[in-house]
Amino acid sequence: MTTILGIETSCDETAAAVVVDGLDIRSNVISTQVELHARYGGVVPEVASRAHLESINAVITRALDEAGVSLGELDAVAACHGPGLAGALLVGVSAGKALALVLDVPYVGVHHLEAHLHAAWLEDPSVEMPMAVLLVSGGHTMIVSMEGTGRYRILGQTVDDAAGEAYDKVARALGLGYPGGPVIDRIAKDGDPRAVAFPRPMLNEGLDFSFSGLKTAVMLEIRRNPDRPAHDIAASFQEAVVETLVYKLEKAADQIGARTLVLGGGVAANSRLRARVAEVAEKSGRRALLPRHDLCTDNGAMIAAAAHFRLISDGPTSLDDGATPGLILPTIG
C-alpha cells in the first residue's frame, strides 16, 4: 500500500490530497482564490503566489486530517512542477520538497496535464485504453490520446486562446464578472442557443482549435445589438464552443479507435459540455467518463494519483528539481 500526498498550486487553487495506491482518494482539499482575483478580472500571478504561501500548510494539514493519515504514514510527497505560474508553482514545489526532506520519503514532481489525464482513472480504473481525452480549462484546450500511464499523444490543441479564457473574456464583455465559466453556464440555460449563429472556428481543419475569432465575433455582436439579452448571447456562444469541442473529440475518438470519451480541466465542469459528451458517446456506443467537479478543476488528488504511477515507472524526482512554467507534456509521438 502506497500513501501519497499530492500538492497542486499551479494557478489559483491551493490544493492537497491523500491518495492510496493511485486510485483510492482519502481526501481532496481545495482552497480557491477565485474571490481574490475577481476584481482584477483574471488571475494575478503575484497575488496568487502570496495567497498560496499563506494557505499551503493549512491545506496540507486539513488533507491529512480528513484522510486520517499522519505525516509519518506518507510514503511519498508529490507536487505539480509545471506548467503553470512560476511563483505559484514554486510554493507547492518548495512545500513538497521540504516535506520529503523532513520525512525522508521520495519526492515526485508531476506534470499538471498528466495529472488531469489521471483524474478520469480515479473515477474508473477499469476503463479501456486508448481514451480520447478533452482537456479544457482557462489555460489549456487539447485532445489527447491516452494509451496508459506515460503514453500520451496530443491529437490537437488550441492555436490561440484556451476555451476557458474565451469564457472569461465573453463574460467580462457582458458585464457578468469573473470567472466566466460558471456564470455563462448558468444564464445560458435561460437563453436561446440559436439566437446568434456564431462561427464554429476551424471545424473542418483537423483537430486543432481556435477561440480568438469566436470571442471577437461575440464582442462585435454585443456592440452591434446592445439590446440582445445576455442569456441569448451566452447560450449562443456556449453552443459554438461546445459544438466545436465535442465534434473534434468524437472525430479524435474515431481516428484512434477509442471506446471512451473523457473530460478533464476546469471547463469540464460545464453542464452543457458534459451533457453533449454524454449524448454523443451514447449515440456512438461509447462510454463517457465525466469526472466529478472536484476532480475536473485543479486538485491534489490528480497529482497524487499521477505521482503513484510515475513513481513506479520512473522512480523519485531528484531534489534539485524546480518548477517549469512552460513544461511540455511528455508524449510518444
Asked if 46 interacts with other proteins (CB under 8 A), we say: yes
Q: Which of 11, 30, 56, 307 binds other proteins (CB under 8 A)?
A: 56
Asked if 35 interacts with other proteins (CB under 8 A), we say: no
Q: Which of 54, 65, 205, 279 binds other proteins (CB under 8 A)?
A: 54
Q: Which of 20, 23, 53, 222 binds other proteins (CB under 8 A)?
A: 53
Q: Among residues 62 and 153, whose Cβ is nearest to other proteins?
A: 62
Distances (CA, A) of 245 to 9, 151, 210: 27, 22, 10
Q: Which of 2, 23, 50, 255 binds other proteins (CB under 8 A)?
A: 50
Cell triple for 235: 447560450
Asked if 95 interacts with other proteins (CB under 8 A), we say: yes
Among 42, 98, 48, CA closest to 74: 98
Burial of 197 (0-12, 13-18, 19+ CB in 10 A): exposed
- d(Cα 1, Cα 145) in Å, to the nearest integer? 29
The nearest distance, CB 166 to other proteins, in angstroms, is: 22
| DSSP E strands, 72-226 | 76-82, 107-111, 131-136, 141-148, 151-157
Asked if 319 interacts with other proteins (CB under 8 A), we say: yes
The nearest distance, CB 99 to other proteins, in angstroms, is: 6
Chain centroid offset of residue 159 CA: 18
Q: Which of 235, 323, 327, 329 binds other proteins (CB under 8 A)?
A: 323
Among 169, 96, 134, 141, CA closest to 262: 134
Tell me which amino acid residue 64 is.
L
Cell triple for 159: 492555436
Cell triple for 307: 505521482
Q: Which of 23, 69, 103, 219 binds other proteins (CB under 8 A)?
A: 103
Asked if 125 interacts with other proteins (CB under 8 A), we say: no
Rg (the chain; Cα; Å): 20
Asked if 93 interacts with other proteins (CB under 8 A), we say: yes
Cell triple for 261: 470519451
Asked if 91 interacts with other proteins (CB under 8 A), we say: yes
Positions in 240-299 near other proteins (CB under 8 A): none
Asked if 14 interacts with other proteins (CB under 8 A), we say: no
SS3 126: coil
The nearest distance, CB 41 to other proteins, in angstroms, is: 10
Binding-site ranges for other proteins (CB under 8 A): 39-40, 44-47, 49-50, 53-54, 56-58, 60-61, 71, 86-87, 90-91, 93-95, 97-99, 101-104, 318-323
